[in-house]
């Protein structure tokens, strides 16, 4: 029996693509990028209102699920040590 994933939020990007962040994915992101662990709202806003969206062909080709991978960037959203970084 498959385990149900806990949804943290679901938003639409500017293209109308629905993006869902699940708890397991957020935990993996937080482990890999601990500086982002307290930036959940900034990540959501970046998905909704990015400055740039890039298609990641390599990551998409490695996925077995058939999902397309995109990178979302937004400047001037973070604070403190991360203020000059993109989310």
Whether this prediction's pTM lies above 0.95 is answered by no
Confidence at residue 75, expressed as pLDDT on a 0 to 100 scale: 83
Name the pLDDT band for 1 (thresholds 50, 70, 90). low
Interatomic CA distance for residues 87 and 44, integer angstroms:
10
- Whether pLDDT at 14 is above 90: yes
CA geometry: angle 10, 66, 5, nearest 5 deg: 40
Confidence at residue 82, expressed as pLDDT on a 0 to 100 scale: 59
- Residue reference for tokens 């693509």: 17
Q: Residues 29-56: pLDDT tens digits? A: 999 988 888 889 999 999 999 999 999 9
Q: Which residues pair with 52 in a beta bridge?
A: 73
Confidence at residue 86, expressed as pLDDT on a 0 to 100 scale: 54
């Amino acid at each position: 029996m498959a385990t149900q994933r806990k949804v943290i939020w679901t938003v639409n990007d500017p293209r109308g693509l629905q993006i869902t962040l699940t708890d397991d994915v957020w935990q993996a992101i937080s482990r890999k990028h601990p500086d982002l662990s307290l930036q959940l709202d900034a990540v959501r806003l970046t998905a909704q209102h990015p400055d740039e969206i890039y298609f990641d062909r390599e990551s998409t080709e490695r996925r077995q699920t058939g999902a397309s991978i995109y990178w979302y960037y937004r400047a001037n959203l973070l604070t403190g040590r991360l203020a000059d970084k993109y989310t």
